[in-house]
Structure 1
Amino acid sequence: MKKEFAVIGLGRFGGSICRELSREGMEVLALDLDEDKVNEYRDIAAHAVIADSTDENVLRELGIRNIDHVIVAIGDNIQASMLTTLMLKELGIKTITVKAQNDYHEKILSKIGADHVVHPERDMGKRIAHNIISNNILDYIELSDDHSVVEVKAGSKMSGRTLVDLDIRAEYGCNVVAIKRKKEVIVSPMATEEIHESDILIVIGADKDISRFEKNLVVED
């Protein structure tokens, strides 16, 4: 089933995650107090709503409890960020990712139940978006505007199959440049190399090709 996400706070960071998740075909509920920001995302997210995330009744009415993963990307209002996180935890949200303003903010967020705390100055929205689509996507590094390197953990869809079987280059236009297997690193692996579950593949390609590769071979059903 397709995962559902909510992004609370549509500034540069939250907006970046919202755009990337939506581009990847995810169902996204976008929330912000600013009407202009919400209007900007009406044609991008599945749902864009003007809402106060510190109001528990509002969160309940929006059906936030049915969301798989909520990203709290509130800007400078640390109090609102913490209160929203606390309410989401009490509402039983399975996974909560929160943007931290500083190390002190991060410590408090971790104590009140945030599952993942990120610093926008250290973590690009695109990298985080790919990571939260699947735990098997470990890292995502932009090389240019349209080419990237992705680090993925092999799951059941790739386990026991060779690179020839998977035909990644012909099928998806991507290249597996290395495989990490425990302490071993296989550089420029042979086409006959069999993939083991939990192998880490370093894959390079155009963003559109990597996106197809992730959806078909990396993201588990």
Structure 2
Amino acid sequence: MKYIIVGLGSFGSSLGIALTSQGHEVVAIDSSMRKVESYKEVISHTICMDATDEYTVNGLPIIDTDIVIVAIGEDQGANVMATALFKTLKAKRLISRSINPLHEKVLQAIGVDDIFHPEQESAKRWAKRLSLRYFVDSFSLTDSFSIVEISIPDALIGKTVAALQLEDKFNIKLLSTMRYEHYKDSFGRAQSRPSIQGLAEPEQVLQDSDVLVVYGANKHINQFLRSVGVKVQ
């Protein structure tokens, strides 16, 4: 996948390094030449430019980029301007950093696809979330074991939980399924929140709107994903 990361602060640089190490193409931009030079060996491409300048930003490969992440944190105004500019230039998926509750409402009004809070979330966790098409979220119990939320792959729709044989074939356990309820926020924009469906039962038939909550060793979860056609690193 191809990413554009705007801002090479602590979070943006860590995210860029993690995604690059996973084999993705990353274009990281920052107005500081010092930061650009610092990370040019560990991030696919680093460019020194002003992300609020429409002329220069328009020269980026936005149409060919899967996800744009605005990680500017020091300057709230620059964050909003850069986010609005990428939205105007029709980024396929736009994610931006929230600095405070008011700023988050502004980002929602702009129409970003997702918002992150670096003070609460790690760059490694977001790298995992952005790398997998079906990945929703995860909670690492140790370096080797996780609880992972996965949007149901097409190959599993209509099958029962028992038919998957997750414990026998992959040594992982389906704890539950979730579905997302949709609602309007204070700006009238569409939002969603998770609804737990309860403990997974053997006879339960999986639906196209299900999110699978799976527990197991990371390597076993990856084996399961590969078996249903999901590309993982």
Regarding TM over 0.5, the answer is yes
Whether 1:92 and 2:90 are equivalent positions in the alignment is yes
Provide the TM-score with structure 2 as the length reference. 0.74
Q: Which amino acid is 1:198 matched to? A: S
- Structure 1 pair 175–27 and aligned structure 2 pair: CA distance change class (3 A): farther
Q: What's 1:198 paired with?
A: 209
Query: Aligned equivalents of 1:210 and 1:36: distance in 2?
Result: 40
**3-state SS of 2:11 partner:** helix
May I ask how many residue pairs the two structures share in their alignment?
A: 216
Q: What's 1:186 paired with?
A: 199
Q: Which amino acid is 1:91 matched to? A: L
Q: CA deviation at 1:156?
A: 0.8
Q: Which amino acid is 1:12 matched to? A: S
Q: What's 1:16 paired with?
A: 14
Q: Which amino acid is 1:79 matched to? A: G
Query: Aligned equivalents of 1:205 and 1:211: distance in 2?
Result: 10
Contact 2:158 2:206 in 1 (8 A): yes
Query: Aligned equivalents of 1:102 and 1:152: distance in 2?
Result: 29
Q: CA deviation at 1:98?
A: 0.6
Query: Aligned equivalents of 2:170 and 2:75: distance in 1?
Result: 43
**3-state SS of 1:157 partner:** helix
Query: RMSD over aligned Cα, in angstroms?
Result: 3.2
Q: CA deviation at 1:216?
A: 5.5
Contact 1:154 1:218 in 2 (8 A): no
Identity score, percent: 31
Question: Where do 5+ consecutive residues of structure 1 fail to align?
Answer: none
Query: Aligned equivalents of 2:160 and 2:214: distance in 1?
Result: 15
Q: Kindly report which structure 2 residues correspond to 1:29-178, keeping only aligned pairs within 5 A, or say none.
A: 29-133=27-131, 136-161=134-159, 166=164, 168=166, 174-178=172-176
Query: Aligned equivalents of 1:170 and 1:25: distance in 2?
Result: 31
Is the deviation greater in 208-217 or in 64-73?
208-217
Runs of 4+ in structure 1 over 6 Å off = none
Contact 1:137 1:218 in 2 (8 A): no
**3-state SS of 1:61 partner:** coil
Provide the TM-score with structure 1 as the length reference. 0.78
Q: Which amino acid is 2:214 matched to? A: V
